[in-house]
Structure 1
């Protein structure tokens, strides 16, 4: 029976896409150290991601853009990214295990498991791939917009990010439906 783990990364940031990954691990593998991606260092995640991609039966990463997040809301955009990841798999699983308390609408039996990224290896693997891809987007945005410090805060609403948002205004990749970005847009309009 092929079990697929699904998890997301990037629900909280003020900028960029929300990412989801789907991973089917083989019954036997040599990947050591799988855990919730938030409990691992960036170096550990990067190393594990390579092993996950090379040893998985199948894996896929998908996203929903900032525009889709603004149109749908963050929860629905997350579900969209998750369903995209599952449908992008080269092999269809028999069951999908999703980290959290709800599952996207799929044509495959699925179960939500709260804190599944700490208890199910396939979900841990998905958590790692989603986070690595989400961070890669933050680094790419940092190259385009170095004044925002995305490499440091990954788009979360830190003091540094909020200061840059106030000083430079939102970029096209900012999530307008998130309050600090909406406020920055309103401030820009007031002073133009």
Structure 2
């Protein structure tokens, strides 16, 4: 049975703190920069996510290559094989009103998407197979969809160790890939369909 990623109360508190600091407000300010709508950026969340995951491996691998060149590191890198298994059931990021005890949504307009990537990480001459679980926050402005923030958690398919702690991953290769894809989506650029070697994918439990 595939692993399931559902953060605990500590993770929810982490999200609340992160939003309250500074991340959420700059994203909503993007709504003032109105551009002509296009078919991609005006898609509903489910359709947008399907198309995003279709292309994500290509975008992520290009982001990883750019990062390696800029850092001049060749000993550790990841290759994304596939992205999929989207879930849209949000975690209840809500608070209770002190007056009427009713629950109020803390961040209206922010959508949650969960998805999984299959990756092969190379450390020197050794290859390690990984499943990475992602918790993505998106908001829709007048110009189209934008990422608010993203958290990720890694699980190795070759060991029985527990998953790594949840981390803020907006600056990683998957976070950069999401940003670049959404940018191209808002610009109305045609997106290439990812190609995956099926023999490699079958090596993973997905």
TM-score over 0.5 (shorter chain): no
In terms of fraction of residues, the more helix-rich structure is 1
More strand by share: 2
- Normalising by structure 2, we get a TM-score of 0.27
